[in-house]
Structure 1
Amino acid sequence: MVVVPTSAALSQSADLVLCDRIAADPADPDKPASVKGVAEISAGDIETAIKYCRTAAAGSRRAMYALGRAYAANRQPADALAAFRKAAAKGSTSAMVELGVAYATGAGVAKDEAQARELFAKAAEAGNPRGISNLAALGGGGSSDPTKTRALLAKGAETNAEAQYQLGMMLAEGVGGTKDDVQARALFEKAAAQGHPGALERMGAFAQAGRGGPQDSGAAKGFYERAAALGNADAAAALKRADCPYSIKDKQGKLVTNLCF
């Protein structure tokens, strides 16, 4: 358990200091650099987080967002959504993303991809990396304004693996601008280094074909294996094709089986 501080840090209330310490989101743009944040709120800290974040939320949108996280950790989805709505109304882009995820998945609300896209777009336009990557993953309004989506992804790609992957896909396919295999491969490589399954699969495909860089079958297999281990079906299929390159077809030309090494 966390010990409650006896005095406030700087001009912040003790409630906000404690809320930040045990419930702040490490990826929240509102979070001060001095606050580390936690990926998941510890089970033993949930009750304390709710108590102090609720008090601090009266004057802090990041505390309101953290309160939503605490409610979610305590399996109180309705209260979590209510807190996220209040934080989003005050301008919290992280809360907008959480609401967008809820609408995209239908978790606690009626599924509404248009509403999810709107929330992701608002967060993305404010520079939130998760808003950018989720917008792209949802289709990002990409069909209506791919150029804008590409520009937003470029911001997120500085640090976010999903944004790097999504931007790489747009560059590889020439969506929203000029096709650029070299830059696409560089982005896939960055995302792959962070363990992104899709980027690992794309690196395998690019290395296998010599696209955007040197051809290297050995490296391609390594990328495919790492992606497949993370559950990427396309990579698993690519590995199978590599092991079973010869096909046997019937008289009608339909595949009967593959010959494997």
Structure 2
Amino acid sequence: MARSGFRVSIGLVLAVPLCLVQGMVANAAPADIAACDGLAAHPTDPDKPAEVNGVTVIAGSDIPAAVKACKAATAATDAPRRIWMELGRAYEFGGQPTEAANAYRKAAKAGNTTAMAGLGVLLIKGDGVRKNVEEARTLIETAAKAGDVEGMINLAAIYGAGVGVKTDVAMARNWYAKAAAANSSEAMFQLGLMTEDGDGGPKDDVAAKALFEKAAALDHADALERLGAYAEAGRAGEKDPKAAIAYYKRAAALGSEDAAKALERLRCPFGLKDRAGKSVGRICSDGG
């Protein structure tokens, strides 16, 4: 933290009444907590105040301010446990996994389930902390069983990939279903993928499409891309090229690379190949 250019003599510091100093500290903490919440709260954190929306991704330009505000907030003796989790998020997005793990652990020990899920992921990857899959699974499972959405999603992934446990796609599908019921767009999307492929349960294109539609309504880019593919292929309905393009455009605008490639393919459908059969370019229908 940058030091002020002003200096105060020891005599002047001692002359400030203790009650005033305590009042200044008390007045500063709520502002720091509010700033930390505004910049780094997680949307599904059960500890999050109802009036705080939270952010899925902390913007790069907001990371320094988030770290500063959250560090200041944790200095208060009565700082809510979620503040340590939010500090951990700010550190993680800032590329400081060790500091993130330390902050997550403090929040997790205090009972914050979102911090348990966050720390669990770092432990699985061995990112900023010694890899420990067993501890990670315990933390994530504790969070999931407490109703934490991120915990549910991560536990589903653990069972789906067989990380530290026997692969169990039916269990993965079950946890994604629980998270989807809690309005998680990511869980809706993942459950849609399992449903369209018949992993861990019945294969049902219509049900999968309905899940993608619910996730798309929450601006899930990959779900929008899937809807574009369904409309293009006439899967779970009639072919609708215009709808496919509309879905792909929305998905691409939200960052889906697959949707961007699909748009380019539809715009430039005619491929050129050399004598060796190697692709050398495409001809676009608009002459581009």
Same fold per superposition (TM over 0.5): yes
The residue type paired with residue 156 of structure 1 is A
> What is aligned with 1:227?
251
The residue type paired with residue 206 of structure 2 is V
Report whether the alignment pairs 1:203 with 2:220: no
Structure with the greater alpha carbon radius of gyration: 2
Percent identity, aligned pairs only? 44
Cα distance in 1 between the residues matched to 2:271 and 2:97: 51
User: How many residues are matched?
Assistant: 240
> What is aligned with 2:159?
141
The residue type paired with residue 148 of structure 1 is M
Cα distance in 1 between the residues matched to 2:259 and 2:152: 25
Among 68, 75, 78, the residue aligned to 1:56: 78
Cα distance in 1 between the residues matched to 2:89 and 2:276: 56
Conserved 8 A contact 1:104-1:116? yes
Structure 1 residues 203 and 97 mapped into 2: Cα distance closer, same or farther (>3 Å)?
Answer: same
Shift of 1:80: 4.5
Q: How does 1:142-221 map to 2 (within 5 A)?
A: 142-143=160-161, 144-158=167-181, 159-221=183-245
Cα distance in 2 between the residues matched to 1:173 and 1:195: 23
Among 12, 28, 50, the residue aligned to 2:45: 28
What SS does structure 1 have at the residue aligned with 2:282?
strand
CA deviation vs aligned residue, 1:50-72 (integer Å, no higher than 9, x gap): 122xx236xxxxx3342242365
Structure 1 residues 167 and 244 mapped into 2: Cα distance closer, same or farther (>3 Å)?
Answer: same
Q: Structure 1: where are the runs of 5+ without partners?
A: 1-5, 7-13, 58-62
Report whether the alignment pairs 1:236 with 2:260: yes
Cα distance in 2 between the residues matched to 1:80 and 1:180: 41
The residue type paired with residue 84 of structure 2 is L
> What is aligned with 1:245?
269
Cα distance in 1 between the residues matched to 2:282 and 2:53: 52
Conserved 8 A contact 1:133-1:166? no
> What is aligned with 1:10?
none
The residue type paired with residue 154 of structure 1 is A
Q: Structure 2: where are the runs of 5+ without partners?
A: 1-22, 162-166
Cα distance in 2 between the residues matched to 1:77 and 1:241: 39
Structure 1 residues 98 and 168 mapped into 2: Cα distance closer, same or farther (>3 Å)?
Answer: same
Cα distance in 2 between the residues matched to 1:94 and 1:105: 17
Cα distance in 1 between the residues matched to 2:187 and 2:220: 11
Report whether the alignment pairs 1:85 with 2:105: yes
Conserved 8 A contact 2:144-2:150? yes
Shift of 1:94: 0.8
Shift of 1:257: 3.4
Among 140, 150, 172, the residue aligned to 1:130: 150
CA deviation vs aligned residue, 1:113-150 (integer Å, no higher than 9, x gap): 676555434423332111223445xx432141111111
- Tell me which stretches of 4 or more aligned residues in structure 1 moved more than 6 Å: 14-20
The residue type paired with residue 140 of structure 1 is I
CA deviation vs aligned residue, 1:188-243 (integer Å, no higher than 9, x gap): 11111222111111010011112123431101101111212233221122112212
